[in-house]
Amino acid sequence: MVCLNVGTLKDRRLGTAVIAVVCGPLLATFCLAVAQTSNPRTGDAGQKKVALIIHATDQVGNPVAPDLVKDIVAMEHEKKLQVVDGPKSAGRTQIALLLDSNFHQRKVLALEQQTAVEMLSEFGKERAQALVMSYGAEIHSSRELTDDWAGLKNFTGSLQVETDKHNDTVLLYDAMKRALEKLGDGGTKAVVVFAEGNDHGSSIGWTSLVRMAQRANVACYVVLFADHSFYGREVRHYGYYLVELTPKTGGKLWEVGDSPRKAHETAQQVTTLLGSQGIIEVLVPDVRSNRFHPVKVTSTDYRVSAQTGYFDDGMQ
């Protein structure tokens, strides 16, 4: 039995509470209607804010400070998104530098170490903090973020290649996850990964890493080191998923192989990109479909490379 005055209810607004005694199937119908009405994430319920990492250069290719770029345009499916903040620098730089010490890297670990020390020297010239990790079958870390550059260089120099050639475990993704967790709140954040390219045995997948990086506003830069080709019959055999991961976080991937010249050039490019790393915030439709949404960011006066989109379950 329902004791309700229908005429009175017609004039009630959604914000008014109605107390009733409802029995039988009508209760389920009534509750379902209320749930559908009160869900703020269905249909055209509104917009949410998403942060995107960007880099900008002038037309010649020289890096430009993010806050100098005033004409940013962000588009999703040919629809212009409102830029509500930025471009701007996020603040003091935090870097996690990861070296691949698995057995297969025994011929290039010294080059990884040399390149890492070169980068640390450049980071030390800026207002920055860093940590160093190595990974293979095990993960080793210099522990917390620090600006003790001499200590970080000593730790890097002490790393040794793993010796068990029968152990194929390479905890690349687990090391990246741990690095993302160690970076603090706020600031310009990056994970710089030296890798042969493939993961074996981690507890997390690459798409979950992208989601973690997106939520924390961390760019992932990857440098591939190896004493062999990364391809076989024109198909990539190493770093396949890293090629997908890096642009989705606003980062970039380089192939160095075992070339000291390429390693030196790449070290300079990485430090330059970190110096120009910025962030914008845009409003996007509040649609939760658990998928990646491509976004294109451009500028009329500058060359812009940007995070190529966002996962909608990473929105604020």
**Domain carrying residue 75:** 47-89+278-314
pLDDT > 70? residue 47:
yes
> Rounded to an integer, what is the distance from CA 221 to the centroid of its chain?
10
Return the CATH number at 115: 3.40.50.410
Structure letter (DSSP) for residue 77: T
DSSP string, 203-242: SS-HHHHHHHHHHHTEEEEEEEE-SS-SEETTEE-SSHHH
The per-residue pLDDT for range 178-214, each reduced to its tens digit, is 999 999 888 999 999 999 999 999 999 999 999 999 9
pLDDT at 39: 39
Co-location of 85 and 146 in the same domain? no
Co-location of 77 and 192 in the same domain? no
Start-to-end Cα distance in the chain:
44
Structure letter (DSSP) for residue 60: T
> Pick the residue with more confidence: 97 or 59?
97
Residue of 266, 188, 270, 194 lying closest to 225 (CA atoms)? 194
Co-location of 27 and 129 in the same domain? no
pLDDT at 84: 95
Mean pLDDT of 110-131: 96
Cα–Cα distance, 131 to 88 (Å, whole number): 24
Number of domains observed in the structure of the chain:
3
Specify if 115 maps to a domain: yes
Co-location of 163 and 258 in the same domain? yes
pLDDT at 32: 36
Specify if 114 maps to a domain: yes
Contact 231, 140 (CB under 8 A): no
Cα–Cα distance, 191 to 266 (Å, whole number): 15
Specify if 206 maps to a domain: yes
Cα–Cα distance, 139 to 137 (Å, whole number): 7
Q: What angle do CA 263, 268, 271 make, to 5 degrees?
A: 120
Specify if 31 maps to a domain: yes
Co-location of 190 and 81 in the same domain? no
Co-location of 177 and 225 in the same domain? yes
3-state SS class at 127? coil
Q: Please report, as a single letter, which amino acid is at residue 18.
A: V
Specify if 1 maps to a domain: no
Mean pLDDT of 285-292: 87
Specify if 242 maps to a domain: yes
Co-location of 106 and 232 in the same domain? yes
Give residue 15's pLDDT band: very low, low, confident or very high (50, 70, 90). Answer: very low
Give percent of the chain above pLDDT 90: 76
Give residue 302's pLDDT band: very low, low, confident or very high (50, 70, 90). Answer: very high
> Rounded to an integer, what is the distance from CA 197 to the centroid of its chain?
17
The per-residue pLDDT for range 140-190, each reduced to its tens digit, is 999 999 999 999 999 999 999 999 999 999 999 999 999 999 998 889 999
Co-location of 179 and 272 in the same domain? yes
Co-location of 172 and 270 in the same domain? yes
pLDDT > 60? residue 291:
yes
| Polymer length in residues for the chain | 316
Q: Indicate yes or no: pTM above 0.75.
A: yes
Specify if 65 maps to a domain: yes
**Sheet containing 278-285: order of strands:** 296-299, 72-76, 79-88, 278-285, 47-57, 303-306
Q: Please report, as a single letter, which amino acid is at residue 35.
A: A
Co-location of 58 and 112 in the same domain? no
Co-location of 205 and 267 in the same domain? yes
Place of tokens 């039988």: 24
pLDDT at 289: 84
Co-location of 267 and 141 in the same domain? yes
Tokens representing residue 36 in the block = 């559908």
The per-residue pLDDT for range 86-96, each reduced to its tens digit, is 999 988 999 99
pLDDT at 288: 81
pLDDT at 27: 39
Specify if 244 maps to a domain: yes
pLDDT at 183: 97
